[in-house]
Amino acid sequence: MTPHVSRQTTLGVCLVLALATLLGGLDLPARGYVAFQFAPFGLVAGLLGIVYVFALSNRGLIRFGIGGRRILLIAYWVAATATAFRILLPPPGLVQVGLAVSAAVAAAIIVSRPNRESAVAWLGIVAVTLAVIKFALVPLFEARSGLPDWGLFQFGRTADAVRDLFVAYTPQRPATQAIHFGSLVCYAAGLWIQWGRASSVDGTVG
């Protein structure tokens, strides 16, 4: 049976997810003259968003209800989940490739969990792992090679190009992390609003 989601719950969830999408798209670049920019999620984050919304709804973490509100909730959940992956995935490069594939595999693990408590724990593990790699490991790549450029022999530029192959790091101002954390808090609030009463894995609210 498809669980009922009231209009008030739909509104509350959509509001926090819209706020999560808005905050998660804001970037404050540390270089250049751009005061701020809004960068919506890309193809990889969007696909991961669809996969994870399926996985979370399959485990009963999120519910869509019926009718027009179903479409509304699906749209906002996909947008907010994709934005969360935009925040958590590192910039393009081989590191992102590996992590995106790992996150897709982790979605299969979430689907295989017997209950929603275990599924949400796995969601947290995926989020923390991605965050640690992006915010603790990737900034190490920012260190310049220090190699010189001598005429035809561009050692420094070659070293930087190799670095960009792994991750094209673009530093952000510290406030960006606070804004993106706010976005993830809004996303968690959406999960919390939909948590409700205990529900079984087949989606029926008990």
Partner 1 sequence: MPRCPAPGQPPEADASPTPLEWAGWALLAVLTATILALAIFRPTDPSAIVNEIRLAAGFDRYQAAMNEGDRFFSRATADFRMAVRTDDDRSTEYAMLAEAEQRFLTARSEAEGFGEDQRAQIRLLELYYAWARARYLDGTGEWYRRNDRTILESARELAERGLALPNITGSQRERMADLKTRIDRAITPWPIL
Binding stretches for partner 1 (CB under 8 A): 4, 6-8, 11-12, 14-15, 18-19, 21-22, 25, 32-38, 40, 149
* CB of residue 4 to partner 1, shortest distance in Å: 3
- Based on CB atoms, which residue is closest to partner 1, 8 or 146? 8
| Residue whose token pair is 């989020």 | 127
* CB of residue 138 to partner 1, shortest distance in Å: 22
* CB of residue 140 to partner 1, shortest distance in Å: 23
- Based on CB atoms, which residue is closest to partner 1, 8 or 174? 8
- Based on CB atoms, which residue is closest to partner 1, 8 or 202? 8
- Based on CB atoms, which residue is closest to partner 1, 9 or 118? 9
